Amino acid sequence: MTGFGLMLLLVSLACLYVLGLLGYRLLLSAKKLSTEIIKAKELIKDLYNFDMTTPSKAQVTSGSDLMSLLGERRRIGQAKEQRVKSRRRRLIQRINDIEMDKR
């Protein structure tokens, strides 16, 4: 084997090695993409299953009902705050789950 043939063999082996590494990275990225697609499908399914609340008609109240109405109003406000906090926590968790090394 001549020097040119040996050089050609080494270059072709190096190219095959680089192609193998690229294929491996592509395979890892495809696996990560499939898991993200599954997560997205679950979130979309949850979005479609979301129940819209319909507001009730306004009713006239008296002063004796004031304390119960204020308590109910406070409970509604706390529930809304809990929903906001849980949404924020889920968003932060999703941001933390993003792998920056794969870019």
HSE (CB half, 13 Å, CA atoms) of 35?
A: 9
pTM (2 d.p.): 0.42
d(CA 91, CA 87): 6
Domain boundaries defined on the chain: 1-50, 65-97
Mean pLDDT of the chain: 88
pLDDT score at 15: 96
* Largest separation between any pair of C-alpha atoms in the chain: 104
Q: pLDDT per residue over 16-62, tens digit each?
A: 999 999 999 999 999 999 999 999 999 888 888 777 777 788 877 77
Q: Would you place residue 102 in the very low, low, confident or very high pLDDT band (cuts 50, 70, 90)?
A: low
pLDDT score at 65: 82
